Amino acid sequence: MTAAPAAGAHASLRDVTRIYPPRAGRPALHALGPVSLDLARGEFFAVVGPSGCGKSTLLDVMAGLVAPSAGTVTFEGKPVYAQVPDGIGVVFQEDASFPWLTVYDNIAFGLRQEGRTANEVRASTEFAIDFMGLKEFASAYPAQLSGGMRQRVCIARTLVLKPRLILLDEPFGALDQQTRLLMGDELLRLWRETGATILLITHAIDEAAMLADRVGIMSARPGTFMDVVSTDWPRERDSTIVSDPAFGLLTSRIWTLLRAESLRSMGHK
Amino acid sequence: MRYAGRIRTAVIIVAFGLLELLCRTGVISGFTMIPPSTIAGSLIEILLSGRFSADIMVTLRNVSVAILAAMLIGPLLAIILHQVPGLRRILDPLFATYYAIPVYAFYPLLMVIFGLGDLPQIAVGFLLAIVAVLINTLNGLDRVPPVLLKVARMHRLGPVATAVKVRLPFAAPYIFTGFKLCVAYSFVGVIGAEFITSSRGIGYEISYAYNNFDNRVMYPLIFLILTIATVINMSLYAWERKLLARRSSVS
Ligand SMILES: Nc1ncnc2c1ncn2[C@@H]1O[C@H](COP(=O)(O)OP(=O)(O)OP(=O)(O)O)[C@@H](O)[C@H]1O
Ligand SMILES: [Mg+2]
């Protein structure tokens, strides 16, 4: 394995492992790695893997939310350690909306935090609310929304900050299949327009195959990359590629790799 | 008004009516209790005459100081204890047994420390009230979901900003429970202290009237305290319901 990140990589993990220390009588837990990964600037990378294999841990480490037990993390040429660097936006797997704020104030949270002017805050927030189809709910509180809508609030709250690296942890988990495909299209559009680098964690193989330039397939815990598959889709693409014969080949290839690991993570030998 | 509300009102009216009847017919003697209508009349008289205005103002002021101090210092202390787990572990047994300590037993000590003025009464009210705020705020802070703290870190909030913008707002409903108890305890503490040793305040006047068998002063003043405490509690309750309505899915 190489010791330095690939030249020009936007973000990279180098021989990263994460071991959660023992706590409250539970033994230490090796959750991730060692993994190495280089994300090219503007790349769309998807991660699939059996449940509990360390996908969210991978995301936390990459964002600087959790320190790696070994190895290094770099973002835009600088080491990431114990702090989320400017330019990284995260959408978490769990509902992370602030229950005491309206949809509008949730989405404006980061902008206000950055000290933007009132006009900028209003313009960006209103744009994001429209974009996410939350216009009718701007003054509602998260408790009054469905799980899918709450997740959209969280997506909007992260995207308004125009992060250069977007880390998404099963952002469409709470959505139905149709909305999922449409949100996928929106994400692709946003990705093309902003030129951001995206790391998307998903449990849906078709979602990974349709959206990403490359799909990383993780083993059961402790998660490592068993394989990384290039999709070779053109940058201009949308959910209609699901009818492309190449799409079927791709998903079946990913599933073949994943099947044995998924069984293993469920306790089958 | 909802069904339960109507029943409640009816029960209160019937109870007062019955009391009125028993007093008027002499079943309950005038030395024990005076009719509710007389209590109300005397209270109005007392309020209009201004005879106890100074006492009422002193008590309300002292209670307010105790409440405000507990409401301000309680959450602040909770945040600090939450950040310093070692200190919290040391103090936890104290909090757990706190309300088993008879605060009034320390009244002589408080008088030695704070003198004969209003401070000992305020101190008793404050000491009773603050721990309710503290315990409830800590409880709320313990429940902040880790993912919200990750969001705070993603937005690069420092420890103070995280406390003010994430931890405390999340804990608000719990803090509110503490505030409601804080109001009740402040009244209990201040008025109780006035009973024991003080030369003014509603508590003092009630105890003075009691010693002189002056039911026409004692009952109206008790009624006044009841009314004030109820009004404050009901407005807090209404405010809390508004707060909680936002955070629960049944709107
Ligand atoms: N803070 C923590 N402390 C201890 N163990 C943890 C912690 N967070 C996660 N783990 C454990 O690490 C392992 C990997 O967890 P992680 O959440 O990264 O998996 P995942 O692939 O995201 O799972 P899922 O598919 O359910 O989202 C799991 O066994 C989990 O129980
Ligand atoms: Mg996960």
Testing the interface with B: which of A91, A95, A141, A160 to mutate, by most B Cβ within 10 A?
Answer: A141
Last residue of a domain, one of A117, A143, A161: A161
Within a domain: A109: yes
Residues A30-85 pLDDT 10s:
989 799 999 999 999 999 988 888 999 999 999 999 999 999 999 998 889 888 99
Same-domain pairing of A64 and A138: no
Nearest-Cα distance to chain B for A259, in Å, is 30
Q: What pLDDT does B67 receive?
A: 95
Q: What pLDDT does A236 receive?
A: 83
Residue B87 has pLDDT above 60, yes or no: yes
What count of other Cβ atoms lies within 10 Å of the Cβ of residue A35?
Answer: 24
Residue A16 has pLDDT above 90, yes or no: yes
Enclosing domain of residue A142? 97-161
Pocket of ligand 1 (CB under 6 A): A 20, 29, 31, 49, 51-57, 93, 221
Within a domain: A183: yes
Confidence of residue B249 (pLDDT cuts 50, 70, 90): low
Same-domain pairing of A252 and A221: yes
Residue B2 has pLDDT above 60, yes or no: yes
Within a domain: A154: yes
Phi and psi dihedrals of A89, rounded to 5? -120, 140
Residues 45-64 of A with CB under 8 A from B: 60, 63
Last residue of a domain, one of A161, A177, A196: A161
Q: What pLDDT does A112 receive?
A: 92
* Contact check, Cβ <8 Å, B170/A158: no
Confidence of residue B74 (pLDDT cuts 50, 70, 90): very high
Helix (H, G, I), strand (E, B) or coil at B183: helix
Same-domain pairing of A220 and A184: yes
Q: What percent of chain B has pLDDT over 70?
A: 98
* Mean local confidence (pLDDT), B221-243: 89
Residue to probe by mutation, ligand 1, list A18, A48, A53, A261, most atoms within 8 Å of CB: A53
Helices and strands of chain B, counted as H and E runs: 11, 0
* Mean local confidence (pLDDT), B216-236: 90
From A105-109, A197-201, B197-201, the region with the lowest mean pLDDT: B197-201
The residues with which A89 forms a beta bridge, in sequence order, are A166
Last residue of a domain, one of A115, A139, A161: A161
Which residue would you say has higher pLDDT here, A264 or B167? B167
| Exposed / middle / buried, residue A223 (Cβ in 10 Å: 0-12, 13-18, 19+) | buried
Q: What pLDDT does A1 receive?
A: 42
Within a domain: B42: no
Pairing state between β A78-79 and A70-75: antiparallel
Same-domain pairing of A151 and A170: no
Within a domain: A65: yes
Provide CB contacts within 8 A for A198, sequence distance 6+: A43, A44, A45, A165, A166, A167, A168, A187, A191
Nearest-Cα distance to chain B for A170, in Å, is 14
Domain of residue A208, CATH code: 3.40.50.300
Q: Does A81 touch chain B (CB under 8 A)?
A: no
Within a domain: B1: no
Within a domain: A3: no
Same-domain pairing of A204 and A244: yes
Residue A268 has pLDDT above 70, yes or no: no
Residue B26 has pLDDT above 90, yes or no: no
Residue A119 has pLDDT above 50, yes or no: yes
Count structural domains, chain A: 2
Same-domain pairing of A172 and A51: yes
Provide CB contacts within 8 A for B26, sequence distance 6+: none
From A236-250, B64-78, B178-192, the region with the lowest mean pLDDT: A236-250
Residue of chain B minimizing CA distance to A146: B249
Residue A264 has pLDDT above 80, yes or no: no
Within a domain: A4: no
Partners of residue A98 in chain B, C-beta under 8 Å: 148, 151, 166, 169-170
Residues B118-137 pLDDT 10s:
888 898 999 999 999 999 99
Q: CB–CB of B130/B73 below 8 Å?
A: yes
Residue A175 has pLDDT above 80, yes or no: no
Mean pLDDT of chain B: 89
Count structural domains, chain B: 1
Q: What pLDDT does B77 receive?
A: 94
Q: What percent of chain A has pLDDT over 90?
A: 45
Confidence of residue A2 (pLDDT cuts 50, 70, 90): very low
Confidence of residue B11 (pLDDT cuts 50, 70, 90): very high
From A132-141, A157-166, A252-261, the region with the lowest mean pLDDT: A252-261
The gap from C-alpha A51 to its chain's centroid, in whole angstroms, comes to 15
* Contact check, Cβ <8 Å, B155/A86: no
Enclosing domain of residue B157? 51-250
Provide CB contacts within 8 A for A210, sequence distance 6+: A181, A184, A237, A239, A241, A242, A247
Same-domain pairing of A78 and A181: yes
d(CA A43, CA A178): 25
Same-domain pairing of A120 and A250: no
Same-domain pairing of A128 and A169: no
Within a domain: B86: yes
Same-domain pairing of A130 and A70: no
Within a domain: A169: yes
Domain of residue B63, CATH code: 1.10.3720.10
Nearest-Cα distance to chain A for B251, in Å, is 7
Q: What pLDDT does B70 receive?
A: 95
Within a domain: A2: no
Same-domain pairing of A190 and A238: yes
Question: Helix H segments across A92-217?
Answer: 103-113, 118-131, 147-159, 177-194, 205-211
Least CB-CB distance to B154: which of A84, A101, A143? A84
Residue of chain B minimizing CA distance to A99: B247
Within a domain: B243: yes
Same-domain pairing of A151 and A233: no
